[in-house]
Structure 1
């Protein structure tokens, strides 16, 4: 009896969670005391002006950025894994500025500025901070969405 050999090549590989670097949290800012993850995806580094704007926005809903939240700076093209993030950090609320759900491995249909709850986590997807900062209508939409999340 002859042994049949497969004509298909055999590949050896390791599955990775995503395209992210292993030192993801080294560049994060904050202590995450309230389980609030803020993602900011700008095309350039977050300026001091945008950082201060973000701090004021969060303070308006009683969240102190450095103590109660965790800020992760990224780019709009970056792919992260929310599954990995939620395994490594206690995340109750995720606010994404400029990073779409699909770039987090979340293949849901989402509307900007409309909070949604999935698997016990509140999600809010918004435009980049640089677009919101000087636009009254976008600021108002963000404010209303944040109130829905953080006002009892």
Structure 2
């Protein structure tokens, strides 16, 4: 007889009945004489004898009695109802979408060439007459027509900016921050102007020499004695008209203007009178 199987069955069948008693720990000498503790071994022995008689009367493991008086041949009722798990959905196999045919992107249209901005001159006063005893050059004749100059830029009809700088510094002038900010304030960029470097340390360049190559009639000079027809007839930061058709404005050197707030303010007021009044 399979004692383990039989004991497991009765443990399930007699859920509330204790089939054996766990012996209590050994009592102390003072508790050994207690009547309740003295009767405990007799109770344990009686329970063990009753368990032995029940086990002897059980049939073999193949014909265990079924709970609730069921027949020996019937299928035992499970103690725990079976749990039916829901079917696991199988992910549908999705075929990959066909690759889209690449659409040819048309090349960007070429940008239209930027039109040069022509500044509208304000009503400027005429330049003063040359002092007595001074020979004033004309737009067609000048004693300094031989003075050399170099240029940067190709807008022959744009604003001319006159400077007197070493050759190395002149080549860096288009990247000058102050000059670019000034041009931006009057809605221009470096490409809209022509930079002219007077290569003589003292004498000015002749207007007649400039007009052989450049048709511009607006001049902004950063320094002294840069244009022959304006040497004796102009004042710094005072825009004037030379010979009725040439606007001219003289200011300090760019190296001085960059770090002088007072001169910057004077220049800006003069530029407003020349182009924005």
TM category, shorter: 0.7 to 0.9
For 2:143 and 2:261, the matched residues in 1 are separated by 41
Normalised by the length of structure 1, the TM-score is: 0.72
Rg: which structure is higher? Answer: 2
**Deviates further, 32-41 or 107-116:** 32-41
Number of corresponding residues: 131
Secondary structure class of the residue paired with 2:212: helix
Shift, 1:123, TM fit = 0.1
Residue pair 1:19, 1:79 contacting (<8 A) in 2 also: no
Where structure 2 has 5 or more consecutive residues not aligned to the other structure, the ranges are 1-141
Residue pair 1:42, 1:130 contacting (<8 A) in 2 also: no
Change in 2 beyond 3 A, CA 1:97/1:74 = same
Change in 2 beyond 3 A, CA 1:108/1:135 = same
Shift, 1:16, TM fit = 7.3
Where structure 1 has 5 or more consecutive residues not aligned to the other structure, the ranges are 1-14
The ranges of structure 1 where at least 4 consecutive aligned residues each deviate by more than 4 angstroms after the TM superposition are: 46-50
Residue pair 2:156, 2:216 contacting (<8 A) in 1 also: no
Structure-1 residue corresponding to 2:216:
91
1:105-120 pair list within 5 angstroms: 105-106=228-229, 107-119=231-243, 120=245
Structure-1 residue corresponding to 2:147:
20
Residue pair 2:222, 2:251 contacting (<8 A) in 1 also: yes
Q: Which of residues 167, 171, 188 in structure 2 aligns to 1:63?
A: 188
Shift, 1:150, TM fit = 1.9
Post-superposition CA distance 1:5-38 (Å, at most 9, x none): xxxxxxxxxx9752323xx4xx422232652100
Shift, 1:64, TM fit = 1.3
Name which structure has the greater RCO, CA cutoff 8 Å, separation 6+: 1
For 2:215 and 2:174, the matched residues in 1 are separated by 28
Residue pair 2:164, 2:198 contacting (<8 A) in 1 also: yes
Secondary structure class of the residue paired with 1:125: strand
Post-superposition CA distance 1:86-118 (Å, at most 9, x none): 232111210000132xx4221532110000012
Structure-2 residue corresponding to 1:133:
258
For 1:71 and 1:84, the matched residues in 2 are separated by 15
Normalised by the length of structure 2, the TM-score is: 0.42
